Amino acid sequence: MKRLFFVQCVLVVILAACGGKGKAAESGLSPDFFSGRIESEITISAYDSFNYKNFLEEAARAFEALHPGTKVNVETFSAMPETRTAQQGNMRVTVTEMQDDPQSKTDYINRVNTNIMSGKGADLYAMDILPLHKFAANGTLENLDSYMTMDPNFNKSDYRKNILDAVRYQNGTWFLPLKYDFNYFAYDATLVPTEIANRFGIDKAFSSEDLLKIGMGLYNGAYKIFNIVGSQRMFTILLGESIQSYLDLSNKKPNFVDGSFAAMLDSARNYGRQGLIPQGVTDQQDAGQLMRRGMEAPTDRFYFKQYNTIYLLTQFSRSLGNMNRMMGSGTAVGIDADDKIAGIQANADGSVPFTYRRALGINSQSKNKETAWAFLKFLLSGEMQDPSDLMSGFSLNNKVREETAELAFSAFMGRPGNSDGGLNEQQSQALAQYKTAVEKMSDSINCFVVRDSSLNEMIASEVQYYFDGSKTADDVARVLQNKADLYLNE
């Protein structure tokens, strides 16, 4: 059973996160659909308890208070993760240990399919592990295009247009993310020459392969190129940037045997063998090792680092005496005093994706679509956008995104509950730079990569045999070709 670890290091004084044809379900909407009284009972189903349970239950109570006569039921199915905390001096390290249970995921997806076929499905589904490509094609999910167009109380211009454009798939919008997120790369300004650094910036986009090529031209053996820990983790990142080359979900065609997949496996292993990336503590090892590593002062430098957007807060508050350190799963902590932004992370083909922690779609068979849509809109509004939830990304709502950026930055600086009015001049300038970076980097997003959790598990399970030496890269590619073909066409 695989375990995933998420590590966060903070000071104790801080108080605290692409196209095709589809079978669209007929919505049958009329203008008076949006003018009726909201007073029915709905059920929301999610697999992921960690990201959904507490959040949705809190939202349900608030929505019921706003709309008397409504009832919102929340169902989640995965086990809640374990959290360990250790403290050394004024540093607190928290490790969230999540159990990865492929069979439980499969059972949940089968249960959802059975309930939908029997007409007993939930009104809203969390798009955490459900196969979007299948649910969009067979009409399971409601196409939300007409909802957003016809609802007089939903103005698409209030939301980030490029995210709404990117989320469209098979000629429809089958779900809405509550927030969006992305990864970005930083470079060490003491290691990267100016002529190369001039190519970087908050309006630029690079894949990890792009930066590895640059780094190999600079590599002299003194420093690692990337802060990615281990060949298997490096492979996961490379695969994520090129997954659409190997899985054409819309046309149900896998492509693992043309040689490129095997070559990518060999390249990832060679990055580790050649010393271009660090080895050591990985996702699969004991959480205690991760906690100890998080408490150690960083001593290594890397030409390039991959970061989640939570680290942007550190990026712009570092010069203000903020001693927060963030450490993500699968990355090594390094000296960051000279880090500059290289650009947002792109796919291998140059497209720039976004990700989400929470997203919901409406069951096309729901008998309570008015209430389901009203609740989804409520989740997108300011009432449920918690600025202290620093790990959840950025709101689609333009006004809310700016407000929560200010509150999140203030909280990160030790002034929870304040907007930028609680910051001094230097901090306010840093906040302005932070907001500019968020918006400029977000402007580059033009893609959402549709994935399938069952196929992800299939790939992860099979490549283990390559990295432990049991199979060759070509053997793994052939097995995955056969398995994926059977799964996509069952």
Whether 323 is covered by a domain: the verdict is no
Q: How many domains does the chain have?
A: 1
* Long-range Cβ contacts of 82-85 (<8 Å, 24+ apart): 84/287, 84/288, 84/291
pLDDT above 70 for 28: no
CA–CA separation, 96 and 328 (whole Å) = 11
pLDDT above 80 for 240: yes
Q: List, in sequence order, every residue forming a beta bridge with 183; answer none if it has no partner.
A: 308
Give the pLDDT score at 296.
Answer: 58
Whether 294 is covered by a domain: the verdict is no
Whether 490 is covered by a domain: the verdict is no
pLDDT above 90 for 458: yes
Whether 285 is covered by a domain: the verdict is no
pLDDT above 60 for 323: no
Q: List, in sequence order, every residue forming a beta bridge with 362; answer none if it has no partner.
A: 124
Q: How far is CA 7 from CA 93, 125, 298, 416, in A?
A: 7, 29, 15, 22
Handedness of CA 405, 350, 257, 265 (dihedral sign): negative
What does the DSSP assignment read for 251-310?
Answer: TTEE---SSHHHHHHHHHHHHHHTTSS--S--TTS-HHHHHHHHHSPP---EEEEEEETH
pLDDT above 60 for 431: yes
pLDDT above 70 for 295: no
**CATH code where residue 372 lies:** 3.40.190.10
One-letter amino acid of 198: N
Whether 401 is covered by a domain: the verdict is yes
Q: CB burial class (10 A; 0-12, 13-18, 19+) of residue 68?
A: exposed
The domain in which residue 94 lies consists of 2-180+356-405
Q: How far is CA 137 from CA 23, 27, 252, in A?
A: 5, 15, 11
Q: How far is CA 425 from CA 58, 136, 373, 403, 432, in A?
A: 36, 50, 42, 18, 11
pLDDT above 80 for 437: yes
Query: How sure is the predictor about 472, in pLDDT bands with cuts at 50, 70 and 90?
Result: very high
Question: How does pLDDT run across 335-391, given as a tens digit for each residue?
Answer: 888 999 999 999 999 999 999 999 999 999 999 999 999 999 999 987 776 655 666
Nearest to 275 by CA among 329, 320, 324, 215: 215
Whether 201 is covered by a domain: the verdict is no
- Considering the entire predicted model, what is its pTM? 0.87
Average pLDDT, the chain: 85
- What six digits make up the tokens of 329? 């799963």
Query: How sure is the predictor about 1, in pLDDT bands with cuts at 50, 70 and 90?
Result: very low
Whether 360 is covered by a domain: the verdict is yes
Averaged over 188-216, what is the pLDDT? 97
Query: How sure is the predictor about 490, in pLDDT bands with cuts at 50, 70 and 90?
Result: confident
Element (H, E) at 161: helix 161-166
Residue the block writes with tokens 């002529």: 195
Give the pLDDT score at 174.
Answer: 98
pLDDT above 50 for 5: no
pLDDT above 90 for 34: no
Residue the block writes with tokens 């080895």: 279
Whether 44 is covered by a domain: the verdict is yes
